[in-house]
């Protein structure tokens, strides 16, 4: 079950999008637009987790850590700084990588079927 969580999540999202597009009317256009937006969302989240935003967040948190650590009062941070980008779990990154790939492939297949018929 754990190995197939990417595909189960993808199929559940796809089922929800299909039901929504059937309710809306123009099935292909609604489905294509929504899947494009979902793909872009997953791509942005994946890139954010793996590149710049995690490091930017690390810099911000390091600055905040220094500010609050410099205060000599109860409740100040006495621990060493641990970067957030090192705490991001690999399964989370893998999940968004697979979701991004699956939505891209499905969107291309949907467009190919539409252009064929």
Q: What is the pLDDT of residue 110?
A: 86
Give, in order, the Cα–Cα distances in Å from 43 to each of 5, 19, 20, 60, 111.
Answer: 18, 23, 22, 23, 19
Q: Give pTM, 2 decimals.
A: 0.56
Query: Which segments of the chain have a pLDDT < 70?
Result: 1-2, 51-90
pLDDT, tens digit, for every residue of 81-100?
Answer: 566 666 666 677 777 788 88
């Amino acid at each position: 079950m754990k190995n197939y969580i990417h595909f189960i999540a993808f199929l559940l999202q796809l089922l929800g999008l299909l039901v929504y597009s059937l309710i809306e009317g123009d099935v292909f256009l609604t489905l294509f637009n929504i899947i494009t937006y979902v793909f872009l969302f997953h791509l942005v989240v994946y890139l954010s987790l793996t590149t710049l935003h995690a490091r930017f967040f690390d810099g911000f948190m390091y600055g905040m850590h220094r500010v609050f650590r410099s205060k000599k009062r109860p409740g100040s941070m006495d621990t060493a700084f641990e970067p957030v980008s090192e705490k991001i779990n690999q399964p989370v990154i893998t999940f968004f990588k697979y979701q991004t790939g699956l939505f891209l492939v499905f969107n291309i297949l949907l467009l190919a079927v539409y252009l064929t018929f």
